[in-house]
């Protein structure tokens, strides 16, 4: 039976740890050994939304494993522009490749692709819903920074309503022991209610605030997010919150020595460049982890490791 990677909800803790272990294993392999692992295989990238990191890190991951990559990064030059359906596009693309990575603005589209295709489907972000490969690289980075995920204290900051990276990572962290959350956002961008329920439907208890400065003093990870203009139905609502948070180096003066600032990127103005050179900046290490973690995912879904 084929495997897909669609949602963190589909994974239990052992599955998540398996992916993280694979990434660790891949990191330990010599480059000349890695490059033979997916020789002759083809990865299809179907991107209906812009991307820099997710698409390029998948392409890099596949090529470093000896495989090839084909696909599209926008739809205008494909037959989607002539009205071809999503399902027909998937049914066509699967004839050319061994696995498909799909990003789409609509929630549930990756699941639809998985139900349509007979080859592995990897969700590279579906609307405001899920971004599981980002979550796995976030967890990998957290482990590298703090040695473990259990008992970590994490503040999510910014757009908690529409951010699929927050939704995915939040759900994954609930599977670990003793993780403490601080949710920092404007009132209009609070985490959706459905995410605040336990698996048994019990209301979970979180510290919700709009005070970023206070959160910096009390956490091990500060996970910044972009306020995403493209997710707002009314641009005036975006205008009201677009500058809600800007983390500057001076604000980190009293922060715990081992605090790490993470961000899925791209950023707009929510982290000042003066944080980049500080010991707190972890967001470009996240970018680097993306290739290793996605190599592990490809090797797992293609049945090599
Ligand atoms: N983190 C992330 O998904 O970045 P891209 O949109 O550049 O792929």
Q: What is the 3-state secondary structure (H, E, C) of 140-187?
A: HHHHHHHCCCCCCEEEEECCCCCCHHHHHHHHHHCCCCCCEEEEECCH
Please check whether residue 1 lies inside any domain of the structure: no
Please give the distance, rounded to the nearest whole angstrom, from the Cα atom of residue 265 to the centre of ligand 1: 6
Please give the distance, rounded to the nearest whole angstrom, from the Cα atom of residue 236 to the centre of ligand 1: 25
Which of 45, 46, 54, 287 gets mutated to test ligand 1 (max ligand atoms within 8 A of its CB)? 54
Please give the distance, rounded to the nearest whole angstrom, from the Cα atom of residue 200 to the centre of ligand 1: 32
Please state, in angstroms and rounded to a whole number, the distance separating the CA atoms of residues 21 and 39: 22
Please state, in angstroms and rounded to a whole number, the distance separating the CA atoms of residues 40 and 204: 48
Please give the distance, rounded to the nearest whole angstrom, from the Cα atom of residue 304 to the centre of ligand 1: 26
Domain total of the chain: 2
**CB within 8 Å of 174: residues ≥ 6 apart:** 198, 204
Residue 47, domain extent: 8-129+290-301
Residue in 103, 163, 170 with CA at minimum distance from that of residue 135: 170
Which of 134, 167, 224 gets mutated to test ligand 1 (max ligand atoms within 8 A of its CB)? 134
Please give the distance, rounded to the nearest whole angstrom, from the Cα atom of residue 73 to the centre of ligand 1: 13
Residue in 219, 220, 221, 263 with CA at minimum distance from that of residue 245: 263
Please check whether residue 206 lies inside any domain of the structure: yes
Residues 192 and 65 occupy one common structural domain: no
Residues 296 and 174 occupy one common structural domain: no
pLDDT at 34 (0 to 100): 97
Residues 140 and 268 occupy one common structural domain: yes
Q: Strand order of the sheet with strand 153-157?
A: 207-209, 180-184, 153-157, 221-224, 260-262
Among protein residues, the one with the nearest Cα to ligand 1's atom 4 is: 53
Please state, in angstroms and rounded to a whole number, the distance separating the CA atoms of residues 236 and 57: 34
Please give the distance, rounded to the nearest whole angstrom, from the Cα atom of residue 130 to the centre of ligand 1: 12
Residues 153 and 58 occupy one common structural domain: no
Please check whether residue 170 lies inside any domain of the structure: yes
Residues 146 and 280 occupy one common structural domain: yes
Residues 160 and 67 occupy one common structural domain: no
Residues 46 and 99 occupy one common structural domain: yes
Q: Which atom of ligand 1 is nearest to the CA of 264?
A: 1
pLDDT at 204 (0 to 100): 87
Residues 157 and 279 occupy one common structural domain: yes
Instruction: Note the helical H segments in the chain.
Output: 13-27, 31-34, 53-64, 86-93, 109-116, 132-146, 164-173, 212-217, 235-241, 283-301
Report if pTM > 0.75.
yes
Residue in 264, 303, 301 with CA at minimum distance from that of residue 101: 301
Please check whether residue 139 lies inside any domain of the structure: yes
pLDDT at 164 (0 to 100): 98
Please check whether residue 2 lies inside any domain of the structure: no
Please state, in angstroms and rounded to a whole number, the distance separating the CA atoms of residues 3 and 5: 7
Which of 55, 104, 125, 137 gets mutated to test ligand 1 (max ligand atoms within 8 A of its CB)? 125
pLDDT at 220 (0 to 100): 97
Residues 143 and 271 occupy one common structural domain: yes
Judge contact between 218 and 182, C-beta under 8 A: yes
Name residues of the chain where pLDDT drops below 70. none
Judge contact between 240 and 188, C-beta under 8 A: yes
Q: What is the CATH number of the domain that holds 147?
A: 3.40.50.1370
Residues 171 and 282 occupy one common structural domain: yes
In a 10 Å sphere around its CB, with 0-12 CB exposed, 13-18 middle and 19+ buried, how is residue 198 labelled?
exposed
Residues 281 and 232 occupy one common structural domain: yes
Pairing mode of beta strands 42-47, 68-72: parallel
Residue in 181, 230, 232 with CA at minimum distance from that of residue 207: 181
Please check whether residue 243 lies inside any domain of the structure: yes
pLDDT at 295 (0 to 100): 98
Q: Which atom of ligand 1 is nearest to the CA of 103?
A: 8
Residues 117 and 197 occupy one common structural domain: no
Please check whether residue 208 lies inside any domain of the structure: yes
Please give the distance, rounded to the nearest whole angstrom, from the Cα atom of residue 286 to the centre of ligand 1: 11
Residues with CB under 6 A from ligand 1: 51-54, 125, 134, 264-266
């Amino acid at each position: 039976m084929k495997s897909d990677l669609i949602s963190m909800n589909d994974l239990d803790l052992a599955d998540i740890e398996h992916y993280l272990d694979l990434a660790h294993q891949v990191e330990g392999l010599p480059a000349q050994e890695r490059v033979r692992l997916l020789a002759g295989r083809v990865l299809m990238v179907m991107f209906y939304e812009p991307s820099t990191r997710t698409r390029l890190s998948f392409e890099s991951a596949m090529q470093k494993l000896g495989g090839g990559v084909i696909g599209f990064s926008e739809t205008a030059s494909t037959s989607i522009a002539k009205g071809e359906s999503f399902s027909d596009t998937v049914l066509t693309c699967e004839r050319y490749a061994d696995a498909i990575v799909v990003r789409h603005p609509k929630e549930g589209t990756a699941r639809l692709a998985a139900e349509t295709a007979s080859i592995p489907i990897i969700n590279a972000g579906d609307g405001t819903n899920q971004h599981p490969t980002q979550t796995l690289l976030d967890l990998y980075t957290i482990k590298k920074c703090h040695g473990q995920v259990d008992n970590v204290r994490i503040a999510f900051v910014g757009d908690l309503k529409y951010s699929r990276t927050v939704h995915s990572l939040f759900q994954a962290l609930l599977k670990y022991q003793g993780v403490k959350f601080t949710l920092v956002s404007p009132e209009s961008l609070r985490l959706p209610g459905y995410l605040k329920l336990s698996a048994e439907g019990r209301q979970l208890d979180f510290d919700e605030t709009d005070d970023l400065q206070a959160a910096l003093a009390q956490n091990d990870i500060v996970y910044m997010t972009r306020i995403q203009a493209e997710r707002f139905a009314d641009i005036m609502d975006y205008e009201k919150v677009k500058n809600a948070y800007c983390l500057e180096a001076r604000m980190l003066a009293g922060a715990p020595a081992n605090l790490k600032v993470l961000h899925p990127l791209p950023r707009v103005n929510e982290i000042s460049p003066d944080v980049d050179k500080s010991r707190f900046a972890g967001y470009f290490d996240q970018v680097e982890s993306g290739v290793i973690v996605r190599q592990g995912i490809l090797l797992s879904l293609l049945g090599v490791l």
